[in-house]
A and B are shown apart, each in its own frame.
Chain A
Amino acid sequence: GDSVTQMEGPVTLSEEAFLTINCTYTATGYPSLFWYVQYPGEGLQLLLKATKADDKGSNKGFEATYRKETTSFHLEKGSVQVSDSAVYFCALSVPTSGTYKYIFGTGTRLKVLA
């Protein structure tokens, strides 16, 4: 079945370090791919998305490219800040009952130290 696999955390980085969080997926067809972020004590927010192969989603300095050949959607940021400390979820959408549902990875906790 459809699934998402994320690198396990926690990931601890110093401020201004480069971030990569790996995400690979298994799906039939051509799903849309998403990264969500959950800041401490807050709800889930959509960070970025890509709807087809080779699309690059970007937001707030974060980027991820939809790689169909490697079934991957790795999240990157060139210089992380303390405020980026959060849990990051990779997800894909699959059709269901005339709409789409979302399958999430296990989440990766990022901690950025000043």
Chain B
Amino acid sequence: SAVISQKPSRDICQRGTSLTIQCQVDSQVTMMFWYRQQPGQSLTLIATANQGSEATYESGFVIDKFPISRPNLTFSTLTVSNMSPEDSSIYLCSVERDRVGGGFFGPGTRLTVL
């Protein structure tokens, strides 16, 4: 199993600012994933982060808005840039369990933008 921690667990931010969310895994993993869960809605994949290469973004998400770093096999960051109230969501980090085993998810970062 994998244990995933995220920092911060929650934050309240002002419009126009940026927040960087950290994700730490207790074991080395090839792929890390960032999801967004908007209030009352399901999870939507933002991007896939592979160590040593640029992240791959899903349709509707761009690097300028959600830059991602993946400096090593146990750590990743997601930055939410130039925030607006529409960015208020829970942001979750995930790693793959195995090829078909489902994923492990972090506890999430609850972001509120005023």
Contacts of A42 in B (CB 8 A): 107
Q: Is B50 an interface residue (CB 8 A)?
A: yes
Contacts of B100 in A (CB 8 A): 32, 49, 51, 93, 100
In this complex, the member of A44, A89, A105 whose beta carbon has the largest number of chain B beta carbons within 10 angstroms is A44
Please tell me if the beta carbons of A97 and B102 are within 8 angstroms of each other in the complex.
Answer: no
User: How many A residues face the partner with a CB closer than 8 A?
Assistant: 24
What 0/1 pattern do residues 70 to 99 of B give for CB contact below 8 A with A? 000000000000000000000010101101
Of B20-28, B37-45, B60-68, which stretch is located at the interface? Answer: B37-45
Chain B: interface size category: 20 to 34
Main secondary structure of the interface of A (DSSP, over half): strand
CB-CB contacts below 8 Å: A56-114 with B? 89, 91, 93, 96-97, 99-107
Main secondary structure of the interface of B (DSSP, over half): strand
A104 CA to B102 CA, complexed, in Å: 12
Which are the 10 A-B pairs with shortest beta-carbon distances? Answer: A44-B105, A43-B107, A32-B100, A46-B102, A104-B42, A104-B43, A99-B31, A106-B42, A51-B100, A34-B102
Please tell me if the beta carbons of A97 and B42 are within 8 angstroms of each other in the complex.
Answer: no
Closest-by-CB residue of B relative to A46 is B102
What 0/1 pattern do residues 95 to 114 of B give for CB contact below 8 A with A? 01101111111111000000
Q: Is B18 an interface residue (CB 8 A)?
A: no
For the complex formed, measure the closest distance between the CB of A93 and the CB atoms of chain B, giving whole angstroms: 7
Please tell me if the beta carbons of B101 and A101 are within 8 angstroms of each other in the complex.
Answer: no
Partner of B48, one of A45, A89, A96: A96
Please tell me if the beta carbons of B105 and A43 are within 8 angstroms of each other in the complex.
Answer: yes
For the complex formed, measure the closest distance between the CB of B28 and the CB atoms of chain A, giving whole angstroms: 14
Partner of A43, one of B41, B44, B50, B92: B92
Extra contacts, 14 of them, besides A43-B105, A91-B102, A99-B48 (Cβ < 8 A), are: A32-B100, A36-B102, A36-B105, A42-B107, A44-B92, A44-B108, A46-B97, A46-B104, A49-B100, A102-B45, A102-B94, A103-B45, A104-B43, A105-B42
